[in-house]
């Protein structure tokens, strides 16, 4: 069911953006700031919804995500990579044909460029394990063999992603990863000191 915002609640008077006043846009900026601060809550809800998504595997997409994050942590990965492992399939529900790019877009303002690239490319790299069963090429990832983060993406897929479909694996609960998620998404967005874009 689609709901319409209550116009009595902090609503502006304009019906076209070009007609808004400075006062109205300052009011909207405050509301948007609060909305952005609540992003971790919405991400946690989206992760919970993965518990009822895509059937056929022995584990839910939520359990798969928890396994991937647990494996990353056990492997000694840094916090950004652990959070990326937790969120890497978040797009399965709303962007099933480009879920990797969906998750990367969510992470991009808050983590270093390497982590964003790994998440963005993991769907392609992951195909090496199964695409041939569908009669599709499974070597497309090799086009990036000279990329500086090629090995990092291979490692992410081999150790955290493709290995995380085990119903008997002792995954840590979502509550364990919640503080890490909140810390990452509390960062100033697009902070050059965090992004460390390649030169």
Instruction: Give yes or no for residue 199 having a pLDDT over 80.
Output: no
Taking CB atoms within 8 Å and a gap of at least 24, the contacts of 57-62 are 57/165, 58/165, 58/166, 58/167, 59/164, 59/165, 59/166, 59/167, 61/89, 61/92, 62/174
* Residue 8 confidence (pLDDT): 44
* Residue 145 confidence (pLDDT): 98
What is the C-alpha to C-alpha distance for residues 148 and 114, in angstroms, rounded to an integer?
9
Number of other CB atoms surrounding residue 107 within 10 Å: 22
Question: Options 1.10.3210.10, 2.40.70.10, 1.20.120.1200, 3.10.440.10; which CATH number does 39-190 get?
Answer: 1.10.3210.10
pLDDT in tens, 41-93: 999 999 999 988 778 999 999 999 999 999 999 999 999 999 999 999 999 88
Instruction: Give yes or no for residue 1 having a pLDDT over 70.
Output: no
pLDDT in tens, 123-169: 999 999 999 999 999 999 999 999 999 999 999 999 999 999 999 99
Residue extents of the structural domains in the chain = 39-190
Between 31 and 6, the more confident residue is 31
CA angle 108, 111, 112 (to 5 degrees): 100
Query: H or E stretch including 193?
Result: helix 192-195
Contact 123, 88 (CB under 8 A): no
pTM, two decimals, is 0.90
Instruction: Give yes or no for residue 197 having a pLDDT over 90.
Output: no
Q: What DSSP string describes 46-86?
A: HHHHGGGSS-SSSS-HHHHHHHHHHHHHHTT--HHHHHHHH
């Amino acid at each position: 069911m689609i709901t319409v915002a209550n116009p009595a609640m902090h609503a502006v008077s304009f019906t076209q953006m070009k007609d808004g006043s400075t006062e109205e846009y300052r009011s909207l900026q405050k509301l948007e700031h609060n909305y952005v601060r609540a992003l971790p809550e919405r991400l946690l809800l989206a992760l919970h919804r993965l518990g009822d998504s895509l059937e056929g595997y022995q584990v839910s997409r939520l359990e798969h995500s928890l396994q991937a994050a647990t494996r990353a942590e056990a492997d000694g990965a840094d916090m950004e990579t652990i959070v990326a492992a937790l969120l890497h399939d978040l797009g399965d529900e709303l962007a099933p044909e480009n879920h990797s790019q969906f998750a990367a877009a969510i992470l991009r303002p808050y983590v270093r460029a390497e982590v964003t690239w790994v998440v963005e490319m993991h769907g392609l790299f992951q195909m090496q394990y199964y695409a041939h069963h569908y009669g599709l090429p499974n070597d497309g990832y090799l086009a990036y063999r000279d990329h500086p983060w090629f090995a990092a993406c291979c490692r992410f897929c081999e150790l955290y992603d493709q290995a995380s479909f085990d119903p008997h694996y002792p995954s840590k609960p979502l509550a364990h990863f919640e503080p890490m998620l909140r810390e990452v998404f509390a960062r100033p967005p697009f902070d050059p000191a965090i992004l460390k874009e390649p030169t």
